[in-house]
Amino acid sequence: MTSLTRPVRPTGFSVLRVGRGSFLLHRRATLVAVLLGAVLAVTAVVYLCVGESFVGPTEVVRVLCSAVGGGQPSPDEFVVGTLRMPRLAVGLLAGAAFGIAGSFIQTVARNPLASPDVIGVTQGAGAATVAAMTFGLAAPGTLPYVSILGGLAAAALVYVFAWRRGLHAARFVLIGIGISVALGSLTQLFLTKGDFLVAQQAKVWLTGSLNGRGYDHAAPLALILLVLTPALLWAARAQRTVLFDDDTATAQGVRLGRVRLCLTVLGVVLASVATAAAGPVDFVALLAPQIARRLTRTAHIPLVGSALTGALIVTVADLLARKLFSPIELPVGVFTAVVGAPYLMWLIVRTRSRSGGTS
Amino acid sequence: MPRATRRRIGPTAGSALLLVLAGLLLLAVLLSLAAGSRQIAPSVVVDALLHGGGSDDAQVIWSLRVPRTLIGVMAGVALAVAGTVMQGITRNPIAEPGILGVSQGASVGVVCAIAFLGVHSLNGYVWFAFAGAGIAAVAVYVIASGGRGGASPVKLALAGTAMNALLASVVSGIATTDARALDEFRFWHVGSLSGRSAEIAGQTWPFLLAGLLLVAAMARGLDALALGEDVAKGLGHNVPLLRILGGLGATVLTGVAVAAAGPIAFTGLAVPHIARALVGADHRWVLPAAALLGPVMLLVADVLGRVVFPPSEVPVAVMTALLGVPFLIALVRRKAVVAA
């Protein structure tokens, strides 16, 4: 053993010591996360200001403070606190959940194309939710859990059909596209079955709109994110070990199969819960991790960055959807699709290898 | 197709098979006329068709079910033949107007014509459907051929998915901002045979005929192309011209189908494969077989959609997708598609 005067440290990282523990922090990733957080905070305030009537930023901050600290009520309490806040909360949480889900599944598949909205997870969650709504099978409070079941079932279906002496990325994506079309059609079928009022309700939900979303949509999402926090902390570490090629990872003692399964299940659950709250908002799970990774320039997909980028995408898209053609509100999914679909096309044009590894 | 059996079918066996398929189509037409929220006995259907008459049943048949069935037959023929041609010229087993986003392109063309130019007649907006279908087809093919590996099935399907998502959001964006005709637009989101008048069928057939003639003229060229580009060139075919003409034919047929019935996916995928399994690889037999089978599939899907949740109706595009997806999965699980 040679003694070193300076500890060996990977380039680009700093060591953070807390008590007896220590972490490696990627400097650029940390900087990006802080900046994204700041941009997100500004966007959130703008989001609360803008609408049918304009509320000044100072007034918005006062409402926020009174909500937290309980000062004297502001005259704009109703517009900002009751109308816009819940909607913002749903957008932020759903965007973050989509971003995290995308980062897990893209990491496991080693392929940006295999994001939950391309391979049918969100469509599965949608079909299950609409079925539960129109057949009256579930109470409104349990809808997010029905949605999780739907997402998991869709993922399992894609996996079973794509498995043939191993998984091939191209086959996996093609089967995923097929299953998502089938599930989309099933959703339409269920809509026809339901009585008019329920069908109308389900249709509004299906457009992927944040219009009329309240705390009752945000609460289960927040709860599930909170419950999953320990799992997410574990996953942030596990995400990097999966990146090694199979032999290296196995030699380092990583149980690849198990880690991949856990990451996939986590991703599917998060995408489904987000779908239950905000409806199928397309392409956020595809876009957010890719943008975040380009910002941080890391080899792996940064978890915090993806979550923040996802939240930012949904918030900005909803802001545009509300204001661009006002007084008409567009569904937020329209905007994310207009940005996301060309990006997917660009990804196809510049793919280097056809298969992109197994998943 | 590269992997299709080289089995050829003789003229006698081929004609017999086509006769059987024609019989099948006749049955499907009868079924489509008889079934629905008001069940009508087949004998009454035949009687009403032959003698007309003023009974309620005859009214229902002549004013509602005959136009609907006619449009179903036309759209079925157009989509099945378009799918066969697309699979031939791209040499790709999963090429199909719906999956590749061509139908959705035609749909956007129609929606733009209605929303921005105030065109409301089929003779007017069918041209926009052609333009939209053509642009979408070229765009998807160019995107899929970019990068390494050429236009492989997975890249075509992904480019088509992206195109579908983009165009669907354009349609819903226009439909949301243009509230006056929301009902008119809903039709262009999910294809359906309901509520289309006989007038539409009357205006559609010249375009359909033109597309079919164009495609029929190049059946031999498609056969040569199935053997590979170099072989086709060696046999004296002009491959680029063949592709352009084929693309034009497929675009016209898709545009006709969409203008008549809205975007309907998966008919053009499943039918050519069934036809090839029945009559072999020779396009002079595959094309007529597909033209007979296409309407059978579409009409059966439509009847299923009418009876599954009476009295409401499931749009035919939903039913064809449900019938067609197992086909896609079976095709993809065969190794040839992914390794291509």
Q: Tell me the pTM.
A: 0.82
pLDDT in tens, B25-35: 999 998 888 88
- Which of A330, A345, A350 lies at the smallest CB-CB distance from B159? A345
* Distance from C-alpha of B30 to C-alpha of B24, rounded to nearest angstrom: 10
- The single residue listed with the structure tokens 């539409």 is B200
Average pLDDT, chain A: 81
What percentage of residues in chain B have a pLDDT greater than 70? 92
| Contact residues on chain A for B157, CB-CB shorter than 8 A | 173-174, 177
- Confidence check: pLDDT of B236 > 80: yes
Which of residues 45 through 104 in chain B touch A, CB cutoff 8 A? 94, 99
Quick one: average pLDDT of B116-141? 86
Q: Are B94 and B157 in contact (CB under 8 A)?
A: yes
Which of residues 255 through 294 in chain B touch A, CB cutoff 8 A? 265-266
> What is the rounded (10 degree) CA torsion for B198, B73, B97, B104?
20
- Which of A161, A185, A334 lies at the smallest CB-CB distance from B169? A334
Among A179, A185, A350, the residue to mutate for chain B (most B Cβ within 10 A): A185
Q: Please report the pLDDT score of residue B2 as a whole number.
A: 45
* Distance from C-alpha of A85 to C-alpha of A92, rounded to nearest angstrom: 10
Q: Please report the pLDDT score of residue A96 as a whole number.
A: 93
Q: Please report the pLDDT score of residue B337 as a whole number.
A: 55
Amino acid at the residue A283: F
- Which of B172, B179, B321 lies at the smallest CB-CB distance from A185? B321
Q: Please report the pLDDT score of residue B177 as a whole number.
A: 72
Q: Do A181 and B321 lie within an 8 Å CB cutoff?
A: yes
Q: Please report the pLDDT score of residue B294 as a whole number.
A: 93
Confidence of residue B8 (pLDDT cuts 50, 70, 90): low
Distance from CA of A351 to the nearest CA of B (A): 6
Q: Do A181 and B337 lie within an 8 Å CB cutoff?
A: no
Domain ranges in chain B? Answer: 11-24+90-339
Residue of B nearest to A334 (CA): B169
Distance from CA of B172 to the nearest CA of A (A): 7
| Contact residues on chain B for A161, CB-CB shorter than 8 A | 329, 333
Q: Do A348 and B308 lie within an 8 Å CB cutoff?
A: no
Q: Do B148 and A353 lie within an 8 Å CB cutoff?
A: yes
User: What DSSP line would sit under B261-326, residue for residue?
Assistant: H----SHHHHHHHHHHHHH-S-HHHHHHHHHHHHHHHHHHHHHHHHHSSTTS---HHHHHHHHHHH
Domain ranges in chain A? Answer: 24-349
**Higher-confidence position of B76 and A134:** B76
Q: Please report the pLDDT score of residue A73 as a whole number.
A: 64
Q: Does domain B11-24+90-339 match CATH 1.10.287.470?
A: no
| Contact residues on chain B for A182, CB-CB shorter than 8 A | 321-322, 325
- Confidence check: pLDDT of B48 > 90: no
Residue of B nearest to A176 (CA): B329
**Tokens standing for B47?**
């009687």
Confidence of residue B212 (pLDDT cuts 50, 70, 90): very high
Q: Do A181 and B166 lie within an 8 Å CB cutoff?
A: no
Q: Do A174 and B176 lie within an 8 Å CB cutoff?
A: no
Strand locations in chain B (E): none
Q: Please report the pLDDT score of residue A359 as a whole number.
A: 33
Ranges under pLDDT 50 in chain A = 1, 353-359
**CATH fold for domain A24-349:** ABC transporter involved in vitamin B12 uptake, BtuC (1.10.3470)
Strand locations in chain A (E): 13-18, 21-26
**Higher-confidence position of B193 and B83:** B83
pLDDT in tens, B252-301: 999 999 888 888 888 888 899 888 888 888 888 889 999 999 999 999 99
Q: Do A338 and B166 lie within an 8 Å CB cutoff?
A: yes
A&B contacts, CB < 8 Å: 141
* Distance from C-alpha of B138 to C-alpha of B172, rounded to nearest angstrom: 23
Q: Do A345 and B163 lie within an 8 Å CB cutoff?
A: yes
- The single residue listed with the structure tokens 């080693």 is A110
Q: Do B309 and A193 lie within an 8 Å CB cutoff?
A: yes
Which of residues 308 through 337 in chain B touch A, CB cutoff 8 A? 308-309, 312-315, 317-319, 321-322, 325, 328-329, 332-333, 337
pLDDT in tens, B167-199: 888 887 887 776 655 566 666 777 777 777 778
Q: Do B190 and A188 lie within an 8 Å CB cutoff?
A: yes
Evaluate whether ipTM surpasses 0.90.
no
Residue of A nearest to B149 (CA): A354
Residue of A nearest to B329 (CA): A175
User: What DSSP line would sit under A153-219, residue for residue?
Assistant: HHHHHHHHHH-SSS--HHHHHHHHHHHHHHHHHHHHHHHHHS-HHHHHHHHHHHTT--TT--HHHHH
Interface membership of B194 toward A (CB under 8 Å): no
Helix/strand/coil percent split, chain B, to 5: 75, 0, 25
| Residue A31: Cβ within 10 Å count | 13
Q: Do A348 and B190 lie within an 8 Å CB cutoff?
A: no
